[in-house]
Amino acid sequence: MSEQLKGISVFVTAVEAGSFSLAATRLHLSRSAVGKTISQLEQRLGVRLFHRTTRSLALTDDGTLFYEHCLRALEEIDTAKTLLDSGKKSVSGRLRISMPVLYGRMCIAPLLTEFASQNPDLAMELLFSDRVSDLVEDRLDLVIRNGKLPDSSGLVARRIGSHRMIICASPSYLMQRGKPQTIEDLSQHEVINYINAGVPHRWIIPEDNGQKREFVPKSRLLMDELQAIADTALSGFGIALLPDWLIEDELQTGKLVRVLCDYRENVYESHALWLQTPHLPLKTRLVIDMLVSRLPAHQISLT
């Protein structure tokens, strides 16, 4: 095992140094010793890690993937050493976390910021995007997603919270156009719908028989930002489907009104996703545990 760890350390140093010669200098080894260690590592793995020429050294695709995982492994070893030295349940290193823009800003980021303040040796990169992030390509430790999850054997998901989706409009709009009584009536109204990557959002309405009715409403106005949709609904333009954590104050004050109240509200679940691994890093596990315990109450406080 010690030889394997030595090989990984030499490999990572060679990648970061950009050459075997510079890696040898940093490790106080000969260049031939570095080359031999890398060759032995490639033989054990059964893949080529570097494209070698007389003038350059570049990672292969397999080498790039292996390097990313080696970095995480070495980082976790350093974290374990720190924990043993300090005797405290604190974490260090870096976490890259992607989340939806508005939900992340309002619901997730405040909790992660508090977590970071309690762990001064932990650095965080919080990335806000409504596109579906790729954990491998984007080199992410954790992704927060709302709604239905895609099938993937390489990912692990844990539910961290939920929220209700509410069909609503302003009183001024309803006074002018009247209230829709059925889903079919929506076709006679102005609808403001969310769009992501060019795909309009499908509205989901639970039915009494346990099935769910899914449809894309006819919409003259599409927006890719939820706050803009809420603002437009408040202005009296039309009907929108919005999460409770965003508009509960407006519902309480009457600035927005529920419509189609005879229909049940769909519940969207929020999940944390990470790459399947035999040993989840401590820093990642503690963040997930924190979100599971804190997020539901935080969302209630927003409403």
Domain holding 7: CATH number?
Answer: 1.10.10.10
Query: Which of 65-69, 131-135, 138-142, 228-232 holds the top average pLDDT?
Result: 228-232
pLDDT category, 110, cuts 50, 70, 90? very high
Q: For the chain, what is the mean pLDDT?
A: 87
What is the domain range of residue 37? Answer: 2-67
Tell whether 79 is covered by a domain: no
**Both 62 and 125 in a single domain?**
no
Residue 52: what pLDDT?
79
Residue 261 sits in the same domain as residue 275: no
Q: How far is CA 184 from the centre of its chain?
A: 35
The mean-pLDDT minimum among 62-66, 96-100, 215-219, 246-250 falls in 62-66
| pLDDT reading at 165 higher than 80 | yes
169 and 195 share one domain: yes
Per the CB < 8 A criterion, the answer to whether 209 and 286 are in contact is: no
DSSP β-ladder status, 122-128 and 93-99: parallel
| Residue 1, pLDDT above cutoff 50 | no
> What does the pLDDT average to over 168-172?
97
Whether pLDDT at 82 is above 70: no
Is the pLDDT confidence value at 200 over 80?
A: yes
Q: How many structural domains comprise the chain?
A: 3
Q: Residue 63 pLDDT > 50, yes or no?
A: yes
Q: Look at the block and give the residue holding tokens 């927060």.
A: 144
Q: Which of 22, 37, 67 is the last residue of a domain?
A: 67
Mean pLDDT of 67-74: 82
Give the predicted TM-score (pTM) of the model: 0.67
Long-range contacts of 295-302 (CB under 8 A, 24+ apart): 295/107, 295/108, 295/111, 295/160, 295/161, 295/270, 296/161, 296/162, 298/107, 298/110, 298/111, 299/107, 299/161, 299/163, 299/245, 302/106, 302/107, 302/245, 302/248
> Quick one: 157 and 189 in the same domain?
no
Among 6-10, 45-49, 245-249, 285-289, the range scoring the smallest mean pLDDT is: 6-10
The percentage of residues in the chain with a pLDDT greater than 70, rounded to a whole number, is 90
